[in-house]
Structure 1
């Protein structure tokens, strides 16, 4: 902390801007990490409970009631709504076969649910990929600023160089400290989202087949 405070007092506007940017990126990353961990855990538990509950119901209406009660993140209910929807005549959508209409509606509903689950992934990826370079830039600028100040003082010794350079290296460490949690969270959340996507695609496929069987009979 002492080295960080000395770096802050000795740095110029650019160095402080880099430090502030890293702090903002860190706060943003942790807010997204905590929020997405909560959302994805809820979605995974809800999918695991809601899909079997729907198929174990004795009617579509009863299954829809169970689904609505368990689907807190609203990633399954839109699929059921899309499968049960009936479009009015006279539109381009109704000119196609029923199978094509179902596929289109279920695809749109599926994309909406996945967009909700994937929200924040771009931010985590951006922070994870840019924070180390921003920290490195802060280190380079800090070293340059320190050397200019020492040179202006008229005497350069290893003791006078080592202190400012060591303090400037804090920015590289700060960049890594911001990037590593973001990268780890991005990879973990990507795995969870992929598992949810597979379950949602399977549920959408089963709803499509059920709707087609109902229409044939």
Structure 2
């Protein structure tokens, strides 16, 4: 008698089909681990960005905010702010009346923020390729296990000279189980990839928007320093 429970189908399967099933199960577990990590990271990053923007637009000193964030900011938006402030502090003391010097400083600040945004997004997007790969490849891996199992079933028919369905049904059930596991791994991976990818795109747009706004603030401050050479080379507080 064949055990047609899920555990029984796994135990009775050919070793190749077992390897396929185990690989797909491990991929499924890893997919859920990635999903949990990404959802948690994005939620934390958005919450930190909300708090940072409140502090940034509160009208307080940007130098104080820079000193608070330090050299190792704890979230991507703070990293963008720190990179721009660091470049500003390096270049503002050497500002002269030359528009070329001011344009060079503006370009360096914008490039520094762009590089920081890219680096932070690459960190947040880590393992997204794995989600996409599982979503697209897992069904085919499961299908491979199914084809292999059905081949064994037909070999059993030839060996036993018996076309009774009861002879081949267990083998076919084991084979189809591999496809089912492939779908169990692939469907959540595809859904999670689409959702997380959309959230990442929104967060990237948020960082780029902040970088554009802060770049404009520093550009105006550069013009003020050039117009008044004796003015302190520190960004003025900003408020909404």
User: TM-score, normalising length from structure 2?
Assistant: 0.79
Q: Which residue of 1 aligns with 2:83?
A: 82
Is contact 1:147-1:161 (8 Å) kept?
yes
Partners of 1:128 and 1:139 in 2: how far apart?
18
The aligned runs of 1:35-114 (5 Å cut-off) are: 35-64=37-66, 72=74, 74-86=75-87, 97-114=104-121
1:126 matched to 2:144: no
* Of 203, 206, 211, the match for 1:204: 211
Is contact 2:52-2:78 (8 Å) kept?
no
Q: Which residue of 2 aligns with 1:13?
A: 15
Q: Per-residue displacement from partner, 1:171-217 (whole Å, max 9, x unpaired)?
A: 11111110111111111111111111111001111121122222221
For structure 2, the residue ranges without an aligned partner over 5 or more in a row are 95-100, 225-240
Partner SS state of residue 76, structure 2: coil
Partners of 1:25 and 1:155 in 2: how far apart?
38
Aligned-residue RMSD, C-alpha = 2.4
1:125/1:113 Cα in 2 relative to 1: closer, same or farther (>3 Å)?
A: same
Point out which structure has higher relative CO (alpha carbons under 8 A, 6+ apart): 2
Partners of 2:103 and 2:133 in 1: how far apart?
41
Point out 4+ residue stretches in structure 1 off by more than 6 angstroms.
Answer: none
Q: Which residue of 1 aligns with 2:233?
A: none
Aligned length: 210
Greater C-alpha Rg: 2
User: TM-score, normalising length from structure 1?
Assistant: 0.87
1:66/1:195 Cα in 2 relative to 1: closer, same or farther (>3 Å)?
A: farther
Structure with the higher fraction of residues in helix conformation: 1
* Of 166, 171, 178, the match for 1:164: 171
For structure 1, the residue ranges without an aligned partner over 5 or more in a row are none
Q: CA deviation at 1:67?
A: 6.0
